[in-house]
Structure 1
Amino acid sequence: MEGLIVSDANLVLYLHPSKSDKVYQAILRELSSLLFTFSEIFDGVVLAYKDVNFLDNCAKILPGVHPYFAVRLKAKFLLFSPRPNMLLEGKVVKLTQGSIHVIVLGFSSAVISEEDIREEFAYKTKHGQDVYASRSHKRHVIKVGTMIRFLLKSFDEEILHIFGSLIPNHTGSIHWLDKNLEDFTRIDRSVKKTRESEGESIMINRDSVGGESFPLYNVEKVKRSKKQRISEES
């Protein structure tokens, strides 16, 4: 999934004098307070940290009414820094006739509204369960519990809420996409080779999915009769 970043950071933490006897524990508490919140400093949501190391052995005392002391340290952070048009992945937790609700990375909620669900998917009740089923591929079904891949439209940094889209053809059920992507690519190449040998001109637009190509099947055919070919050759 896109949007996950590992970052090395040099930090300065300011601690109260009452914590001077347990500096390391105080630092861990300060770092833990950053978890699952959006940090403007890191430009992302802090998911985890590790490898905390002091850069010097002496803390600097700051003058004032409460003489805080500053500690310089280095740590490695795992960040979630989503941007528009990134591909994200999440688990479907709720379906309605007008929306799909998803949880991303176990903490951030996402919603895909009706206008952002491509027409290929039809909302229906199947075996007593609400689903979005593909009209083109009967086994491509989205239901509660399905892991889906979707496009990020926008991200609300304050409440960590995501607005997504299933308009692109390379979005939908991850299980179905990963299982059929290779088959579609192989079939598409075979069809292209056959049609080119028959004198047809084929134009295929492709979207990149994790380094692989996904056919959009925007095919324009130029047919010529046998008589036209003979006339051109002469």
Structure 2
Amino acid sequence: MEGLKVAKANLKVYIHPSKSNQVSQAVLRELSSLLFTFSEILDGVVLAYDVNSLDTCAKILPGVRPYFGVKLKVNLLLFSPKPDTLLEGKVVKLTQESIHVVVLGFSSAIIAEKDIREEFVCKTKRGQDVYASKTNKRHVIKVGTMIRFLVKSFDDEILHVYGSLIPEHTGSIYWLDKSLEVVSHNDRIEKKRKNEGEQIMLQQHAVNGELSTLDTVQKRKNSKKLKHQKHNEES
């Protein structure tokens, strides 16, 4: 899935003097406060962190209530969905007007009716609303379906994604992956048939008394070998 990236950052964490004897725990507590919030500096939502190094030489900041400034290097996993990137999520609600999705278990997404391609028609099956494809009967989107969709925009304040199912490579992940497997399988069969056809043609040339490509190559090798042997004998 696109929209995820790992960033290396040099940070400085400010700690209250009362935590001076528990620097590591205080640093981790401050980093945890960044989780699942959007950072303009990092340009993404912090999902996880891994501290690589921590400078034990904390600098005391002047003031009425001086704080300790601790430098550290951190690897951060960021969620940063950009327009025209692909995201994956689970359908949690479906109506005639929209499809509602949850991405990575915390970010909500909505795909409005105008952003769903005409191939899909909303209908009721067994008492449940679904979006079914008119061209591929097995391509169905319903509550619980994992879908792949395109990002139109991202509201970083409420962590809300506006998506689209207009492109052909969007829809049910299960169906898309199955279709890709079928295409790959058909390509392998076509390649095998082509190779078999070439072998049959070579055999037919041999039957008709004509030299095949392989026979010609072998004949050239034998000719070069005889010339080399003759040259050695003359020497």
1:174-189 equivalences under 5 Å are 174-184=173-183
In the alignment, is the contact (CA less than 8 A) between 2:88 and 2:146 conserved in 1?
A: yes
Partner residue, 1:8: 8
Q: 1:78 to 1:154 in 2, by over 3 A?
A: same
2:51·2:72 contact (CA, 8 Å) conserved in 1?
no
Name the structure 1 match of 2:101: 102
Q: Which residue is 2:21 aligned to? A: 21
SS at match of 2:20: helix
Cα RMSD (Å): 1.8
Q: Tell me how far apart the structure 2 counterparts of residues 146 and 115 of structure 1 sit (CA, whole Å).
A: 20
TM-score, length-scaled by structure 2: 0.78
TM-score, length-scaled by structure 1: 0.78
Unaligned runs of 5+ in 2: 191-235
1:79 aligns with 2:78: yes
Q: Is the partner of 2:19 in helix, strand or coil?
A: helix
Kept in 1, the 8 Å contact 2:119–2:133? The answer is: yes
- Per the alignment, residue 200 of structure 2 pairs with none
* 8 Å CA contact 2:8, 2:76 repeated in 1: yes
Local SS of the residue matching 1:85:
coil
Partner of 2:132: 133
Q: Which amino acid aligns with 1:41?
A: I
Number of residue pairs aligned between Structure 1 and Structure 2: 191
Q: How far 1:16 sits from its partner (Å)?
A: 1.0
2:164 is the counterpart of 1:147: no
Amino acid at match of 2:79: F
Shift of 1:188: 8.5
Query: Which digits, 9 at most, give the CA deviation of each residue in 1:21-49, with x for residues without a partner?
Result: 11111111100000000011110000001
Change (3 A) 1:28 1:52: farther
Could you tell me how far 1:182 is from its partner in structure 2?
Answer: 3.5
Maintained 8 Å contact 2:10/2:74: yes
In 2, the alpha carbon distance for the partners of 1:70 and 1:137 equals 60
**Identity of counterpart residues, as a percentage?**
74
Measured in 2, the distance between the counterparts of 1:4 and 1:39 equals 14
Runs of 5+ unmatched residues, structure 1: 191-234
Residue-by-residue CA offset, 1:62-106 (whole Å, 9 max, x unaligned): 001111110001111100111000000000000000100000010
Based on CA coordinates, which of the two structures has the bigger radius of gyration?
Answer: 2
Q: Shift of the alpha carbon at 1:183?
A: 2.2
Partners of 2:120 and 2:186 in 1: CA distance: 23
Equivalence for 2:41: 41
The residue type paired with residue 38 of structure 2 is: F
Equivalence for 1:53: 53
